[in-house]
Structure 1
């Protein structure tokens, strides 16, 4: 027997119901903010992620599913969603006509990392991207939309954490001082932080190592390095959040280590699973489109893992599907059954039945097990008179009706 690959998961029954509900909710909330859906390929040129995510990141250097295809091209199964959406935006030429675009997406992503609870090598994300607008109100609105989305799924008591990465110049000054700070205690840092010292020192601030966290308690704060424009932008964005009723806390160690990020970064967290964990995260990336397409178009977005959301959401919000109707028939009435089954489906009535009908009692027992509300009985008398017998399993009432009457009762 061939088994599923490590880090993958089959999804069926309740898992699928949850995923469908999550995406129905995403469409409902995001549409209110005038977002439209975009679908991009799972497979992209490897260079897309090298250029956008960066060679120095663990995602690109260690975790990507990349290979040479039959045409000799290096291709990669997407590890995240933003790069493909940016590529689609540039390739379609939106930046040349009407640069303002609001998109949301969902789908599977792939990273070769150690599987753990709620985290797989194939995982699903829902995300949003906005191109063409640089405005602190938009940043606040995106955070508000993320909160609306999670709360609509029953994930309450959310914590919003914020930081500002400022612009390129202020961040360079900060990184120089941060590296000096790290150099003074280099021997006490974890191996990961030592490695990040050269390639990506900002990411060291986000280390989960307890020793690192102790060392970085007195690290310089990026906010102190912001120029006037970046500081005003951040303060204005926070003001809009307050007007919208979104409580937040500033986290000076919240960073995005990639060069294209600027100004606003944020995470929305929940402690519903015990230790507080990030459910949704995002930020402004005003340099990404310049890096990828040499066009100066601002952008901002967020992404959320659907597996994590499925663990946190309120399952009771998913409405119980109607069980439909069970049709009892016999070999002698099979042709009449086919006609009735077709009429039910044409009227959007879900039907259950046995493809190999057994005795009446056996079929009644199966209908009871499925827990349907109605049973249609098609015997020879019903066939000859072109009627049906309808039994209400809840009240026990059983009566003969015309086909049209039954359709109206069940619908």
Structure 2
């Protein structure tokens, strides 16, 4: 930080600036593009919503609602919360705008910032970025597999290899009550603290998600949902696994997995990267068949995911892969004199209009300083223009990596640059 500055970013809120910001946007766009290829349309969501939406949709017993939400009262006396996740907001938009009255499933993708008041650490931020998809209105195991495959394909397109997909089933509304009673009976015999015992009463599955080592040790022998699935839930789960195998998506089963949000049913999954330490999840999701009805809509099913852009970026850095292009431009202009600068400024419009990223040296720098700027920009080529070149009607096209240089007629410079870039 500049020692003369009196301001710094809020704790737990990352800044992304060049060259890392280029990788950040490449990761985000790769995640989104994978969804677009599967027919998911983009939805832009509000950054804040009615607090009750998240309390009812996410679950009042979750850590997200009880400890982590940024909630405030606005000038109209309304309780407002910065969005901690995306699914509830998407579902609200689908209900409000009647998107569920058309063709099903409704397939939507989104991206943006989310907010949780957590203790900041590596990979855990108070403002974090996610890309998500939601497929609403059809209960089809093949759709579950599609959603999972979209995420898997995106991670592979980034060049990531050191992650694994963990999978389980959390059962449906017919088998969850019996399992809930069984789990509550088991937890009642344990020496749990008062807060954890209260959580076990409201939602016992949340206790299995407790990160404290002492609680994890106590629930080691807890009954597993996998062993108490109904025939319908088990058949659904087997079909999801069969579809993933057909899609070539590798997975491992983790019967102890519990997602941090209450709305999940049936299929539940998480992408884990062990190179990230304690915050190893780079994305996850599952099916949420009762959420729409709970929020006042039709009793339609849904399945989706949220993938962490920040953590995916960290995973890329751990593996040493570089998605996207960190160069600021393709071509850098080096004017030698005011007349040359005027010609290159005029050329900039034509080059950019042809899809070429173009920048040039401003501020009257000499040849040496301008060439340093060209190297720092990451450009592949430099256009060097001096007074003699103007008189001859040419410009020097220089490949920065090799140092090779050739004359190009000024009238043909756009075509020559695009050919040199292989376009």
TM over 0.5: yes
**1:13-56 Cα shifts (integer Å, max 9, x gaps):** 13321222123322332233222221111121112111211222
CA positional deviation for 1:347 = 3.3
Please list, as runs of the form range in 1=range in 2, the aligned pairs for 1:105-116 lying within 5 A after superposition: 105-116=110-121
| Structure 2 equivalent of residue 316 of structure 1 | 322
Q: d(CA) in 1 for partners of 2:278 and 2:7? A: 37
CA RMSD of aligned residues (A): 2.6
Does structure 2 conserve the Cα–Cα contact (< 8 Å) formed by 1:190 and 1:212?
A: no
**Residues in 2 aligned to 1:253 and 1:115: alpha-carbon distance in whole angstroms:** 26
SS of equivalent residue, structure 1 residue 117: coil
Query: For 2:213, which of 196, 200, 210 is the aligned residue?
Result: 210
Q: Residues 196 and 369 (structure 1 numbering): CA distance in 2 closer, same or farther, change over 3 Å?
A: closer
Do the aligned residues in 1 keep the contact of 2:333 with 2:344 (CA within 8 Å)? no
Contact in 2 for aligned 1:373/1:393 (Cα 8 Å):
yes
Deviations 1:66-115 (A, max 9, x none): 11222222211101011111111111102223242111111100011100
Structure 2 residue 349 is matched with structure 1 residue 342: yes
Tell me how far apart the structure 2 counterparts of residues 50 and 310 of structure 1 sit (CA, whole Å): 30
For residue 326 of structure 1, what is the aligned residue in structure 2? 333
Give 1:410's aligned residue.
417
- Please report how far the alpha carbon of residue 281 of structure 1 lies from its aligned counterpart in structure 2 after TM superposition: 1.2
Deviates more, 1:134-143 or 1:300-309: 134-143
Q: Secondary structure at the match of 1:156?
A: coil
Shift of 1:383: 3.8
1:224 aligns with 2:208: no
**Structure 1 residue runs without a partner (length 5+):** none
Change in 2 beyond 3 A, CA 1:266/1:337: closer
- Residue 171 of structure 1 corresponds to 176
**Alignment partner for residue 9 of structure 1, among 1, 14, 17?**
14
Aligned length: 409
**Matched-pair contact (CA < 8 Å) for 2:165–2:272:** yes
Report the Cα offset of residue 286 of structure 1: 0.6
Question: Cα 1:206–1:409, aligned 2, differ >3 Å: closer, same or farther?
Answer: same
SS at match of 2:187: helix
Partners of 1:155 and 1:360 lie apart in 2 by: 41
- Tell me the equivalent position of 1:93: 98
Match of 1:79 in 2: 84
Gap runs ≥5 in structure 2: 1-5, 419-423
Q: Who is 1:159 aligned against? A: 164
How far the C-alpha of 1:405 sits from its partner, in A, is: 2.7
Q: Say which of 257, 269, 276 aligns to 1:254.
A: 257
CA contact (8 A) 1:200 1:257 kept: no
In 1: Cα distance, 2:193 partner to 2:124 partner: 24
Preserved CA contact (<8 Å) 1:37 1:103: yes
The answer to which of 250-259 and 298-307 deviates more is 250-259
3-state SS in 1 of match to 2:150:
helix
Q: TM-score, normalised by structure 2?
A: 0.87
Task: Give, in whole Å, the separation in 1 of the partners of 2:38 and 2:255.
Answer: 29
Return 271-280 or 289-298, whichever deviates more.
271-280
Shift of 1:171: 1.3
Contact 1:128–1:303 (CA<8 Å) still a contact in 2?
yes
TM-score (norm 1): 0.90
The answer on whether the counterparts of 2:23 and 2:325 sit within 8 Å (CA) in structure 1 is no
- Alpha-carbon offset, residue 365 of structure 1: 5.0
